[in-house]
Amino acid sequence: MKKTSTPSSLFRLSAIASLTLLACSGWAHETATLEPVVVTGNPLGATELIVPTEQLSGTELLLRSQPSLGETLQGLPGVSSTYFGPNSSRPVIRGMDGDRISILNNGSASLDLSALSYDHALALDPLLIERVEVLRGPGVLQYGGSAVGGVVNVIDGRIHRQPLFGEEGGVAGKLDAGYATGNREQGGAVVLDGGTNRYSLHVDAMSRKTGDVSVPADRECTQGGVTTTARRICNSASETWGGAVGGSMFFDRGYMGASLSTYDKNYGAVAEDEVTIRMRSNTLALEGEVRELGPWLQSLKAQYSQTDYRHTEFEGAAVGTVFKTRGQDLRLQARHARVGRLDGVIGLQFDDTDFSANGDEAYAPSSRTLQNAAFVHEELAMGWGKLSAGARLESVRVESFGIDGNAAFVPGARSFNPSSHALGALWNVAPEWQLTSNLSWNERAPRHYELYANGDHVATNSKEIGNAKLDKERSTNVDVGAAWKRGAHRARVQLFRHDFSNYISLEGTDLAATPRPEYTYTQVQARFIGLEVSGNVRLIDELHKLDLGLRADRVEAENTSTGQPLPRITPLRLGAALQWSRAAWGARLGLDRYEAQNRVPEGQRATAGYTLWNAALNFRDKVGGLPALWYARVDNIGDTLAYSSTSILTQTVPGKAPLPGRSLKVGLQLAF
């Protein structure tokens, strides 16, 4: 097993960071302050954020959209994906996945089982997303102390917080339709909004059907006792549909709204040729806010959601294992009146989640998790920038009920009281320069499966054993960044380090066991260290506009108790894209370079490096008098055979599920 030294890789990235900043400065001609970014994930609606943030919306989101959220966000600075085939992929941020990444829907908890296992798809589809916000790092404590890696906030606009129309009323919407060659995807969505300045109504629906995904090499597939060979990932087809209705009422100092949504997805479990999964999720969401409550409160906001989620695995036509979760999330947030230059929010959050699994692959018992939390986030405006401070106190109880008739699971209960704290600073060094820093101390309570699992987990090809004596996971985290902007030229550098005193890791305890090797949840010391760089240079700024975007990131993670690397870590990534536009036309040509990942735990497979090319073309026109956006996108132009270092499939079923091959997607979006 080849191990590379941490300093050399980070020195290379530091050099790239410095060159990016210098190159962008050299190309600059006009002056401007840093561009405002409004992120709803920030409770104060700040335009200047201390935590590093990325945002996707509009045409950029449309051209990046993939069947899963993880693949849609893949390639953003610091963001990769779990890639359990094309249908189940969750974001990985700075080398961390699962419950260390919080997935939000409109700022409220998204309750599903995607963090439990890699084959569990997120109950969110990019076809119905308005905007995605990615907040990297541990400084967003109001959404959970466990989100040490970061937060992904998915915004769908089903509950409007402001009127869309005046007193006379109106109707607006959009239609999307697309087809892709690589997986024979046929997909479409419709979104309708109507109302006046006193109420609004929302309706949306989507449908997507895909076949097995094309790859650049022959792969065997055994179904119904017959083995065939084709250049496709066996059992990777899917059918998805979903929709929602929502509405809001507006009054002089606030609003109230509700939505009811459903999501249904049938897809193949690519690790097994004849196992398919049906995932269904129904969610009720309520939200309201009252503003100008008096001399002490600027606003009071409440969000409530209730989700009923079911994941059923079929072995052929027979029902195998059924996973269920039913949960409720209540969030209350009050923004106090400004005290001098101090602005902030205080809040409470209550979560109640029931989990059950029944079947041969039920490797975790039925359980209930109750979590109550109080949080505070304060910002102090200074002449040179601002300071921030946050804290979150939690009470968590995890109770196992076992499974009737299964002696492997013993009832039990544990209680934890995690606390997390964060400090941050933003310094406007000059009109073009900005420095940020974040320091936090985070605690995470173990999840029910980390405490009580005891069975075969096919997705990881292992027997997973929980440890009911686990303590809270603790980490100390630091993040520093520099940002520069002058007109269309910009550059950003972020350095981060996470030190865990008792990281909860799935460690091999009997790798020779049959039929599956045995792994136990164990607490170890661990360290994550890395760097993220991004920038843009405006090469031509006349009738034609031409930009060169540059990006790079690297994270190295180590089990410092053993000196072994942690598994499924993204290698050094480099990216570049040329973006051209003139009037109604736009075009893009880009590449993503992934270096080989040789820093893997003993006994695991290294991943070869690869380069993926992509291109896109879009044209704005009118169809039947309606604004229209025509687009075409080609992924993996060179039809390169590649494997993801962050996917468990690369280890458990090597060679079976490469990244998708060449694919052309064409589509049309109409707005009215």
Tens digits of residue pLDDT in 559-606:
999 999 999 999 999 999 999 999 999 999 999 999 999 999 988 999
- The string of DSSP letters for 82-95 reads --SSSS---EEETT
> Under DSSP, is residue 60 helix (H, G, I), strand (E, B) or coil?
helix
Is residue 580 assigned to a domain?
yes
* Rounded Cα distance, 592 and 577, in Å: 9
Q: With 60 as the cut, is the pLDDT of residue 26 above it?
A: no
Q: Where does the pLDDT of residue 9 fall: very low under 50, low under 70, confident under 90, or very high at 90 and above?
A: very low
Cβ–Cβ < 8 Å for 69, 126: yes
Residues 6+ apart with CB under 8 A from 271: 84, 119, 458, 459, 461, 649, 652, 653, 656, 657
Q: With 80 as the cut, is the pLDDT of residue 265 above it?
A: yes
Number of separate domains in the chain: 1
Tens digits of residue pLDDT in 379-425:
999 999 999 999 999 999 999 998 877 777 889 999 999 999 999 99
Is residue 525 assigned to a domain?
yes
> Mean pLDDT, the chain, as a whole number?
90
Hey, what are 637's tokens?
């132009």
Is residue 19 assigned to a domain?
no
Tens digits of residue pLDDT in 540-553:
999 999 999 999 99
Mean pLDDT of 119-135: 92
Hey, what are 112's tokens?
């599903």
Return the pLDDT at 516.
87
Is residue 266 assigned to a domain?
yes
Cβ–Cβ < 8 Å for 45, 36: no
Return the pLDDT at 19.
37
Cβ–Cβ < 8 Å for 101, 147: yes
Is residue 565 reached through a cis peptide bond, with omega within 30 degrees of 0 on the bond before it? no
> Under DSSP, is residue 15 helix (H, G, I), strand (E, B) or coil?
helix
Residue 439: Cβ-neighbour burial (10 angstroms; 0-12, 13-18, 19+): middle
Q: With 70 as the cut, is the pLDDT of residue 642 above it?
A: yes
Return the pLDDT at 346.
95
Mean pLDDT of 181-204: 97
Q: Pick the range with the lowest mean pLDDT from 56-65, 106-115, 545-554.
A: 106-115
| % of the chain at pLDDT higher than 70 | 92
Q: Where does the pLDDT of residue 21 fall: very low under 50, low under 70, confident under 90, or very high at 90 and above?
A: very low
Return the pLDDT at 259.
97
Return the pLDDT at 460.
83
Return the pLDDT at 47.
59
Q: With 60 as the cut, is the pLDDT of residue 25 above it?
A: no
* Rounded Cα distance, 287 and 304, in Å: 6
Q: Pick the range with the lowest mean pLDDT from 4-8, 332-336, 341-345, 562-566.
A: 4-8
- Residue type at 639 in one-letter notation: D
CATH number at residue 520: 2.40.170.20
- The string of DSSP letters for 179-190 reads EETTTTEEEEEE
pTM (predicted TM-score) = 0.90
Q: Pick the range with the lowest mean pLDDT from 209-223, 238-252, 298-312, 357-371.
A: 357-371
* Rounded Cα distance, 409 and 355, in Å: 14
| % of the chain at pLDDT higher than 90 | 80
Tens digits of residue pLDDT in 244-264:
999 999 999 999 999 999 999
Q: Where does the pLDDT of residue 533 fall: very low under 50, low under 70, confident under 90, or very high at 90 and above?
A: very high
Alpha-carbon separation of residue 70 from 101, 134, 296 (angstroms) = 12, 12, 41
Q: Pick the range with the lowest mean pLDDT from 39-53, 93-107, 117-131, 339-353.
A: 39-53
More confidently predicted of 49 and 181: 181
Q: Which residue has the tokens 């100390």?
A: 476
Domain around 52: 6-10+38-359+368-382+432-671
Residue 133: Cβ-neighbour burial (10 angstroms; 0-12, 13-18, 19+): buried
Backbone angles phi, psi at 70, to 5 degrees: -60, -45
Cβ–Cβ < 8 Å for 498, 528: yes
Is residue 250 assigned to a domain?
yes
Return the pLDDT at 42.
63
Is residue 660 assigned to a domain?
yes
For CA atoms 602, 603, 607, 608, give the dihedral sign. Answer: positive
Hey, what are 8's tokens?
């050399």
Is residue 523 assigned to a domain?
yes
Mean pLDDT of 179-188: 97
Is residue 553 assigned to a domain?
yes
Dihedral in degrees, nearest 10, Cα atoms 110, 111, 116, 118: -50
Return the pLDDT at 563.
94
Mean pLDDT of 464-493: 95
Return the pLDDT at 94.
94
Return the pLDDT at 127.
93
Q: With 70 as the cut, is the pLDDT of residue 3 above it?
A: no
Mean pLDDT of 623-639: 96
Return the pLDDT at 515.
85
Q: Where does the pLDDT of residue 139 fall: very low under 50, low under 70, confident under 90, or very high at 90 and above?
A: low
Q: With 90 as the cut, is the pLDDT of residue 436 above it?
A: yes
